[in-house]
Structure 1
């Protein structure tokens, strides 16, 4: 570690330790603290600042950082938190604002610097900690920003802070968020894991700190000693907060202790929250299958459809060959289609090769089911089940050729990609391996040439994953350059990037930089925002309605576009094409397969709001500044998305309706009221 950086760490720790023991007795500063920040979406100058953010106009935004009006200084500072990158001049100006008299401006500057992800920024942030304790919320924001930029040395330093008390809510929460963001960057330490466990296990600690600590436990593996393991099991029994319970359950599961299995199964029977039951099922994956089989099978009849789906996926992913025929029996019983074909996939995956008769029955069942339904999403699950037996590759291709349903064509391509990527490909196909690989090379070339985003994306992915295996079948690559010219940008950006990556992989070239769309940002329509002011958005589904409150002050470009699409009836009749239990329900795309957009891109808007609770609505994207029309709504807190995905509203009514959405649920209409 650099000697000069050691000085920064020492100064940082000194500030932290002093603030932790003396925060409550710091006298008011003699310096005047100026706020006076007002966000007025009808104000012409404020609109101009938002527009500069939307067009990524760095130079124009910089001129507002020194404006006499604190509202404009704040908005322009916050705007840089949405930029994909920050140049040196911006970093310098934002660093100066860490000494602003306005705490809001300090916070916005610290957040934007953290968003840069630049490690050298951590030096500046550590030196700017307010040791006097006047700006508590700013200090918390700064701690979080250090978690996004600091190195392993800083991670250990922040982990070791022990002087904060439960009354120091902002600081203790800032420490927890900092450690979460460090872990998101694969920077963990025993000291950090220990501190996280302390926060979760301390029921007197503020939820502002316990929640990010629980998110940490949910997402990252931590070392747990026997005493903490016992405490976690007890907490699983008595805790009522679902966010805490989900993190605790996942951590207990990772320990693989028999007592933990007993505790999890007890909780699985008693838990009322469907999300907690979902996480408990997933937490059982590391235990002996025979010891958890029956409780999981019971959850195939759970009261919640996404718990049932999770139980079926568990059997598919963790089952045994000896149960393969049992899975087929379960699938033929009276389970709904959301579960039935996942169980067929479990049977296909685990059925021994020498069970030829049973294999024939399975394939016959699936082919009959495919021919009898016209539902695209039942067909996608059937194709996934067929792909579990690789010799079905030709049948899958024929089904691809015969359908015009975009979701089904994309699913067929993904099924072939999955077969192509099997680690046991050669062992399975034996002497036929080269012939099958040749067949797949023809299929993938056809799919890329189709210019359909979903199939092209999957086919290109298969080539990128195994370029050395497909190079012998493509003696020249001019056809890929021709295919690239056929994609329409920005609409087909996902396929374009994937095909370009495949071309480079086959040519033995370095991974190309993601293609950046040069299209102008979709303008913000302030009239539409004004007309929608104070109104709610209602998503009408077959089971009921979901009511949203939009956040135009946080994401005006996204809200403007969304309201325009709603007013045009764009979403009426669209579907939720992707549902990940206890994560998100996503829909609104033009094709219903998760791919494609329209003739515009939106800019990512990330002004510092966290994905720290359920019911937040965000925009799907293929990377920064590639948002379009697809949106998703969360089932739970999803802070791993922080700073990368636009949040533009929240559910105010009908979260239970949203939680019941399954793949293929139709959006009857979306309207303003």
Structure 2
């Protein structure tokens, strides 16, 4: 999860206990000082063998372990196959759904869900009816949602009467419907059931899944459910449920009561994340009734809320003079909301547009912050008349690379505007060709993406792809994989060829260092000193050994010291660790994805990637539960203190130092 692209307990008995206690939402078990020096599990040579086969994606080596006499090894092999995601393993995993050990059944169900293979649907459905263990039943239902067909969805949307009062089944059903919705598998009956699951009588886990499903499933019209969703957004005791329910109200915007509900939430909800969700749920059609609450949010005590308000105006403001937003922007001290309002001013224009542009350019020249400069270039992307200024800034020599990254993105955004002059199309094409030749991976990759954009119709401009091939061949893999991908996709587009597979690095190029892994205790912590304060991570060595070992080695090298948080998306993630500072940087090796049965709750720390098995040095911290990332991005740590600091991090804030502590 670059710029473009962001729990299994260590012991099965502890995991089952958590399930019995109500399926707690934390991503990993609480840490005590007594366990801080406990050795990790990889002193066991067989577990190292299983983890190595996982890392090397060797299904054939893992399958025999599914029949091992030891339940521990059967469970670990099943979990390893959840990362491999080989559909050929489905029959063997299906057989383990009836294992005598409940923890093995849990692992097998999770792994089957990770394969997303519809051939597992029948077995999972049958297991739900037969399963006696609460966690295994829950996991089978959630996995069913990842595999269910449209024809089978009705069975998931309506539990058998015998399971109707079972909290594990109700929660599992909610998560199953959520996973199905992410795949676009939904129905009116499913939506109706999700709304029922929002009721406070249901477990927290069920309400969280239901709210997120309603918010993220595409194509739903929730107008008729507005009263129930509004009640959840206003009254649920959990901020995470209120936040997701508020987001879901964007799909009920035609209901006459919704604007007032969103306006009230944006002003009064005690949690900043709910206020952000309410602002994001506001639509253009609601502009008049919600405008005043958005104006008020610009002065919210939390900078992320002010940014969400500014983004609302940028997306939806109409019928207002641009100079009004210039005046509002000049009153703000936080640079990101201010730059976003300046973008709104340029977008709306009016008689004072030349003066607005001059004011933005003057502010660009005055600031020394490269990230603010970048955002001001982004603002100028709303104004084709600023083309020359932005182009000159993009290609200026001796400047921080982040300025060029923002600049090329602004030029591409400008080109997409209907008001971009037709006589400048050829100039833009030449600019993109120049960008490909710069050797800067971000500038090259973004330009290549623009060249292959069908809406820009640039295939007729470039008769051949030689200049793209020359640029591609100078890249170094796997370090420059993301730029390589973009250039290769554009070459295939111009030559009208089927896309080539991406050259993902094999495990042999960077195998897990087991000596380094065994030196990391199960309770290892990392203190991140930032320019906003300290954050403490607990590293999940048992769940993500390769990722944790890489992180620890980079920490010991001082790699992260002085780096920036280059990407902060309010109520989503704060991301850092990029050596370039713009999201396009990497180490000279890739890691393989480690998809343990963990969840992205608040404060989960994941590895960014450009696709499966392309993880490197960048990592992100979640502001709130973000379950759409589950099973797609490696979780290697959990914040145990300092979430108040994480919530205040902004683009450009520094990672002063990371150190390992006990």
The normalised TM-score by structure 2 is: 0.90
Q: 1:68 to 1:519 in 2, by over 3 A?
A: closer
Q: Select which of 412, 415, 419 maps to 2:410.
A: 415
Q: Select which of 182, 187, 190 maps to 1:189.
A: 187
Deviations 1:431-471 (A, max 9, x none): xx1x4222122221222222221111110110111387223
Q: 1:237 to 1:148 in 2, by over 3 A?
A: closer
CA distance in 2, matches of 1:60, 1:288: 58
**Is 1:74 matched with 2:69?**
no
**SS state at 2:395 partner:** helix
CA distance in 2, matches of 1:164, 1:484: 60
Q: Which moved more, 1:634-643 or 1:62-71?
A: 62-71
**Is 1:669 matched with 2:619?**
no
Number of matched residues?
A: 619
**Is 1:402 matched with 2:391?**
no
**Is 1:337 matched with 2:335?**
yes
**Does the aligned pair in 1 maintain the 2:303–2:334 contact within 8 Å?**
no
Q: Provide the residue aligned with 1:569 in structure 2.
A: 558
Shift of 1:519: 6.3
**SS state at 1:656 partner:** helix
Q: 1:175 to 1:394 in 2, by over 3 A?
A: same
Q: Provide the residue aligned with 1:28 in structure 2.
A: none
Q: Select which of 374, 384, 394 maps to 1:390.
A: 384
**Does the aligned pair in 1 maintain the 2:51–2:80 contact within 8 Å?**
yes
**SS state at 2:574 partner:** strand
**SS state at 2:41 partner:** coil
Shift of 1:51: 1.5
**Is 1:96 matched with 2:91?**
no
**Does the aligned pair in 1 maintain the 2:602–2:625 contact within 8 Å?**
yes
Q: 1:130 to 1:277 in 2, by over 3 A?
A: closer
**Does the aligned pair in 1 maintain the 2:87–2:117 contact within 8 Å?**
no
Q: Which moved more, 1:472-481 or 1:187-196?
A: 472-481
Q: Provide the residue aligned with 1:643 in structure 2.
A: 631
Q: Provide the residue aligned with 1:365 in structure 2.
A: 359
Q: 1:133 to 1:509 in 2, by over 3 A?
A: closer
Q: Select which of 463, 466, 470 maps to 2:451.
A: 463
CA distance in 1, matches of 2:519, 2:201: 45
Deviations 1:155-188 (A, max 9, x none): 1221122626675121111111110011000111
Report matched runs for 1:474-623 at 5 Å. 474-518=462-506, 520=508, 522-533=510-521, 534-611=523-600, 613-623=601-611
Shift of 1:144: 1.4
Bigger Rg over Cα: 1
Q: 1:364 to 1:223 in 2, by over 3 A?
A: closer
Shift of 1:215: 1.3
Shift of 1:339: 1.6
Q: Provide the residue aligned with 2:51 in structure 1.
A: 50
Shift of 1:287: 4.1
Q: Select which of 236, 239, 250 maps to 1:239.
A: 236
CA distance in 2, matches of 1:468, 1:214: 38
Q: Provide the residue aligned with 1:375 in structure 2.
A: 369
Shift of 1:515: 3.8
Which blocks of at least 5 consecutive residues in structure 1 are unaligned? 1-37
**Does the aligned pair in 1 maintain the 2:267–2:296 contact within 8 Å?**
no
Shift of 1:135: 2.9
**Is 1:208 matched with 2:205?**
yes
CA distance in 2, matches of 1:659, 1:276: 13
Deviations 1:457-509 (A, max 9, x none): 11011011138722333222222222211110000000001111111111222
Q: Which moved more, 1:569-578 or 1:523-532?
A: 523-532
CA distance in 2, matches of 1:323, 1:517: 52
CA distance in 2, matches of 1:230, 1:164: 30
Q: Provide the residue aligned with 2:120 in structure 1.
A: 121
Shift of 1:634: 0.2
Which blocks of at least 5 consecutive residues in structure 2 are unaligned? 1-38
